[in-house]
Amino acid sequence: MEADWLIHTPEWVKDAVFYQIFPDRFATSERLEKPSNLEPWDQPPTRHGFKGGDLWGVVERLDYLQDLGVTAIYFNPIFCSTANHRYHTHDYYHVDPLLGGDEAFAALLHAAHARSIRVVLDGVFNHASRGFFQFNHVLENGPSSPYRDWFIVRGFPLRAYSRKKKPRYETWWGLRALPKLNTDNPQVYEFLMKVAEYWLRQGIDGWRLDVPLEIRTPGFWAEFRQRVKAINPQAYIVAEIWDEATGWLHGEHFDALMNYVLNRACLGFFGGADLDTAWQPGGYLLEPLTGRQFATEIERLLALNHWEVTTAQMNLLSSHDMPRFLTLVNGNKRRLQLATLFQMTFPGAPCVYYGDEVGLEGAGDPDCRRGFPWEREKWDHDLRDWFQRCIRLRHAHPALRRGAFRTLVARKYVYVFSRSLGEETAIVALNAGKSRARVSVPLDRLASSPAALRDLFSGHSYPVQQGMIALNLPPLSGTVIA
């Protein structure tokens, strides 16, 4: 059992609402001159095409994000790269010129912080690219290159571009465009540590770590944490791991994970009969869950980690690595609304994938990375208003961010829970079924015993009778009562 004094996660994360931006697809600005041969913004994305999104465009849309209620941005990679997703890093010390370069990022960081919006960058430290200087040096000089040991080379020529023969160096998942960095080499190890430190000193608020478990060098992530926290003790370190990975969350490595386990549970319960189980995001099966099964999974997840970790988990419904939630539930907007209400009232930091709030759909990569539709007539305004209301509710009630969690009712299509902090208690009731649900909610397990409760959406008052309140929930609906 970990000692409580070891577990410290950033305080600001527990109150944050994140927004994930895929830079090439979120917004463009006329301030940045564009090269030719860009894909049309509103056409389906292709695997190698660029649409020309940039960081100046993000600067110009910060008011939009602030109005939505966003307090933190997680960016997919922004460093120099020849890939539209920029996971093929060429230069870790400079922002891609197609995004506006270092100048645009500095302006973005300043403008975001002026609005109290934090900025977390994607750290791709397991692998680089064929264009990374040190790898290019090995390509040009073969076994004579001083950088040979920066990679795990098995022979020459490297076959970095051969389509018929396997590469003679270790790659990420067999992709020859992604040479794996040899972190057992002290120079590589130190290079990556200094990259992390450099951007923290520029003012970023944390790192999202790409495939961190691919780095197996003993002590790497423990030292990474020490050096990051030495610069900014409140920096957020969140890891992309698709399962529970509890052994990495004891206060010595990562603050939290991208909570894909919760993501799958939400798809199962809120997706219900509309869930498209043909997809297997991250290689994991999707299956519908009843309210009881969902409650069992939620209680299991809440018991896995220290509360400090639970309240810092990055809770997502969609991401760049999976079909969007709305697509996975066959376009049923009310199921996304219900899941969003749960996401915004559950312990941890909710993260909205850009465009989900206006009804953007998308199947597997690259379709889940469409351009954001800035023409307002293309928005689902009811959906965006719902996102905004749920986010505002979270900001307005500390119990929904930091309060203790308790399951009150769990049955076939219904799930009801409470969040309690001090004198404040909020009850969240969710009906994922296609018919009306009448629910009696017991209040005897709550810290306080109010005489009446009020619906925070409608203002309707619910009298407490014999320690119960009676709810009549329409199909595919949810509410919060306090």
Q: Does domain 401-481 have CATH number 3.30.360.10?
A: no
Locate CATH 2.60.40.1180 in the chain. 401-481
Q: Which of 77-86, 183-192, 418-427 has the lowest mean pLDDT?
A: 418-427
Average pLDDT score over the chain: 96
Q: Answer whether residue 377 shows pLDDT above 70.
A: yes
Please report the DSSP string for 433-452 in residue order.
SSS-EEEEEE-TTSSS--SE
Q: Answer whether residue 444 shows pLDDT above 90.
A: no
Q: Sign (positive/negative) of CA torsion 122, 124, 129, 134?
A: positive
Residue 392 near residue 444 (C-beta atoms within 8 A):
no
Identify whether 30 is a catalytic site residue: no
Catalytic residue among 54, 210, 255, 297: 210
Q: Are strands 424-431 and 477-481 parallel, antiparallel or unpaired?
A: antiparallel
Q: Answer whether residue 452 shows pLDDT above 90.
A: no
In which band, very low, low, confident or very high, does the pLDDT at 1 lie, cut at 50, 70 and 90? very low
Report the alpha-carbon distance of residue 241 to residue 313 in Å, rounded: 12
Q: Does domain 4-126+183-396 have CATH number 3.40.605.10?
A: no
| Mean local confidence (pLDDT), 269-298 | 97
In which band, very low, low, confident or very high, does the pLDDT at 3 lie, cut at 50, 70 and 90? low
Q: pLDDT value at position 447?
A: 64
Identify whether 240 is a catalytic site residue: yes
Task: Render pLDDT for 20-47 as a digit per residue (tens, 0 to 9).
Answer: 999 999 999 999 999 999 999 999 999 9
Task: Reduce the DSSP state of residue 200 to 3 states and report it.
Answer: helix
| Mean local confidence (pLDDT), 360-365 | 98
Percent of the chain with pLDDT over 90: 96
Q: Answer whether residue 147 shows pLDDT above 90.
A: yes
Q: pLDDT value at position 6?
A: 82
In which band, very low, low, confident or very high, does the pLDDT at 400 lie, cut at 50, 70 and 90? very high
| Mean local confidence (pLDDT), 135-147 | 98
Task: Render pLDDT for 224-245 as a digit per residue (tens, 0 to 9).
Answer: 999 999 999 999 999 999 999 9
Report the alpha-carbon distance of residue 361 to residue 367 in Å, rounded: 8
Catalytic residue among 240, 297, 308, 356: 240
Locate CATH 3.20.20.80 in the chain. 4-126+183-396
Residue 201 near residue 171 (C-beta atoms within 8 A):
no
